[in-house]
Amino acid sequence: MYDIVINNGRYFDGSPAPSGIKHLAIEGGNIVRIDDFPIDTSLAKRVIDAKGLWIMPGFIDTHTHYDAELLVSPGLTESLRHGVTTVMVGSCSLSMVCCEPEDASDIFTRVETVPREKVLPILQKTMSWRTPAQWVEHVSQLPLGPNLISMLGHSDLRTGVMGLSRATNPTISPTEQELAQMEALLKEAFDAGFVGLSTMRLKWDKVDGDREWSKSLPGTYASWREVARLNRLVRQYRRVHQGAPDAATPLQVTQYMRECLGWLRAPLKTTLISQMDLKGSVYLRFLTKVVSVVTNLLKGDFRWQLIPTPFKVYADGIDVVLFEEFKAGELALDLRDEVERNALLQDEGYRRQFRQFYGEKLSPRVWQRDFGDAQIVDCPDPSLIGKNFEEIANARNVHVVDLFLDLVVTYGKKLRWYTVIGNHRPEVLKKLVRDKRALISFSDAGAHIRNMAFYNLPLRLLQLVKQANDNGENVMTLEQAVWRVTGDQADWFGIDAGYIKKGNRADIAILDPAQLSQDLEQVHWAEMQNFDLQRLVNRNPGLIKYVLVNGKIAVDNEHIVPEIGEQTGFGHFLQAHT
């Protein structure tokens, strides 16, 4: 008897090879049979008729921030429901492996906008580890929904060794003993199966808590010599360096390029955040292309992370990370007291500074500095909903910056709005995703409670490609699209996942291609389990029918198996291999 038989589906094996109708049998968690003819259903404990459906490897999400959530809600069902069977934590230098609980909370919560008052008690209650091997032992006992892989975060590593105060002091460098301790912990992580090291150079991302409030993340204070020293171990183990250059200094990317090159040594696998068709800095798309082409021509192994969908950012009042890129925005975000903040926003000198930045057009920027391209979606004054700030300002005959600041003073966080900062031109986005050196990643799943994390990111790529193919456009084949979010990711990160082949572990997503016609950008509010919070998520009814993790059904006819993440878990911690 087989545990499960899946008959009559269009089978994608996770490679670019042609797909076709196949029939699968699963036993003991593994694929044991792949046939051209239907398998006798009397031989199975459970039969899934996949006629008209696509059978493909479970998707791999290689950029999430589930680090705190997995400790209390290890089912990670927001990813499972979209066909994701393997998730990576520890991105953007923010693992929770080496720090004390309060330090781990403070370097995570403001950056990823998950409330500190929710995260800190979780860490204080659960953190019994201080080393990578101990963390692996802990998460391996959790009832995981999807499989788990992890980076070791440089800010976590640095803080665990130096302490948060010293690690965020620009006048202090780690001692030789401390550097050696960082190396020892990184080596332990790689021996325990971590897939790489994540670093951060972007100054926007700030520390939470009362002790070192509003300092940049610890990793941003490290010298490049410190980063390069750790990279020697990354290269030695043939693991991956995930990084984020400072958006204000685009040429900083040359440091990563130099590290990545493979002349007279093995190349350093490097992936950076992020390649995008930005409205505010169109030239950056060309710069990222040049960086990728040149680095790989010079024997590097370099990949930008790319989101295959428009990048929409939500904001509550003035609280949006985009405003960290200019001094006036940074000044406001540094103030937690509402009275102090409102006094600043009403100050004429402050407003002149904000208007001056708003009028600059040539300096590097992520936000396009256009309130006319920002729509209000919620406000106590219903007459403003659905309008952009510029049309309201014109109607009131005031400068749009003054209008925006007045509304923030009046309504605070009850003024909710959004803007699309990039990937807004479909014809350009199709060119970007066609580049095989782009890594389809950067979902940020698990972060940004009131902003969008792209939980269904792999499905958005499949939709883009299918719709293009239906219109006669040659972006890539469907098989190549599936490969980009399955086998390609697994091969590059060096993990045992991403393929459906005889003998492989049965991580499978079964979807209805007809449902790819629905709006995958539509957002909903849903419970964040065990956090007593509502968060912004995607819902795609009818699309993902079944999800199997290690040969067990985790999503059954669109429904999450109730006990997953509570009484039982299906996922494993997957160790990287060279």
> Using one digit for the tens of pLDDT, what is the confidence trace for 106-132?
999 999 999 999 999 999 999 999 999
Specify if 557 maps to a domain.
no
Compute φ and ψ for 85, nearest 5 degrees.
Answer: -115, -5
260 shares its domain with 141: yes
Residue 387 CA, chain-centre distance (Å), reads: 30
pLDDT higher than 80, residue 61: yes
With cut-offs at 50, 70 and 90, classify the pLDDT of residue 508.
very high
For 166: left if phi > 0, alpha if psi spans -120 to 50, otherwise beta; the answer is: alpha
pLDDT higher than 90, residue 491: yes
C-alpha closest to that of 79 among 577, 571, 573, 514? 571
Query: Regarding predicted confidence, which is higher, 263 or 17?
Result: 17
97 shares its domain with 220: yes
Mean pLDDT of 439-468: 96
Single pTM value for the model: 0.96
Cα-based torsion angle of the residue sequence 420, 422, 428, 432 in order, rounded to the nearest 10 degrees: -130
Residues contacting 290, CB < 8 A, separation 6+ = none
Specify if 404 maps to a domain.
yes
360 shares its domain with 458: no
Contact 547/122 with Cβ under 8 angstroms? no
pLDDT higher than 90, residue 264: no
pLDDT of residue 246: 87
- Please state, in angstroms and rounded to a whole number, the distance separating the CA atoms of residues 554 and 542: 16
pLDDT of residue 430: 97
With cut-offs at 50, 70 and 90, classify the pLDDT of residue 250.
confident
Specify if 8 maps to a domain.
no
- Please state, in angstroms and rounded to a whole number, the distance separating the CA atoms of residues 377 and 327: 26
210 shares its domain with 338: no
pLDDT of residue 438: 96
308 shares its domain with 376: no
Residue 204, domain CATH: 3.20.20.140
Domain that holds residue 331: 313-418
136 shares its domain with 188: yes
Mean pLDDT of 550-572: 93
400 shares its domain with 303: no
pLDDT of residue 111: 95
pLDDT higher than 90, residue 155: yes
- Residue after which a domain boundary falls, among 466, 481, 496: 496
pLDDT higher than 90, residue 236: yes
Mean pLDDT of 501-518: 98
C-alpha closest to that of 574 among 96, 78, 29, 150? 150
With cut-offs at 50, 70 and 90, classify the pLDDT of residue 567.
confident
- Residue after which a domain boundary falls, among 418, 449, 470: 418
Specify if 529 maps to a domain.
no
With cut-offs at 50, 70 and 90, classify the pLDDT of residue 249.
confident
pLDDT of 434-446, one tens digit each?
A: 999 999 999 999 9
363 shares its domain with 260: no
pLDDT of residue 98: 98
Mean pLDDT of 413-433: 97
Three-point CA angle 495, 496, 501, nearest 5°: 145
Percent of the chain predicted with pLDDT > 70: 100
295 shares its domain with 398: no
215 shares its domain with 123: yes
Specify if 380 maps to a domain.
yes
pLDDT higher than 80, residue 209: yes
* Mean pLDDT of the chain, nearest integer: 96
- Residue after which a domain boundary falls, among 496, 513, 543: 496
124 shares its domain with 230: yes
172 shares its domain with 272: yes
Three-point CA angle 308, 311, 313, nearest 5°: 155
- Please state, in angstroms and rounded to a whole number, the distance separating the CA atoms of residues 557 and 46: 13
Domain count, the chain: 2
| Pairing mode, strands 54-57 and 196-198 | unpaired
SS (HEC) of 343-385:
HHHHCHHHHHHHHHHHHCCCCCCCCCCCHHHCEEEECCCHHHC
Specify if 40 maps to a domain.
no
pLDDT higher than 80, residue 361: no
pLDDT higher than 80, residue 456: yes
pLDDT of residue 365: 82
Specify if 287 maps to a domain.
yes
Supply 407's token pair: 């509304």
Q: Which of 70-74, 93-97, 320-324, 390-394 has the lowest mean pLDDT?
A: 320-324
Task: Compute the residue count for the chain.
Answer: 578
Q: What does DSSP assign to residue 462?
A: H
Percent of the chain predicted with pLDDT > 90: 93
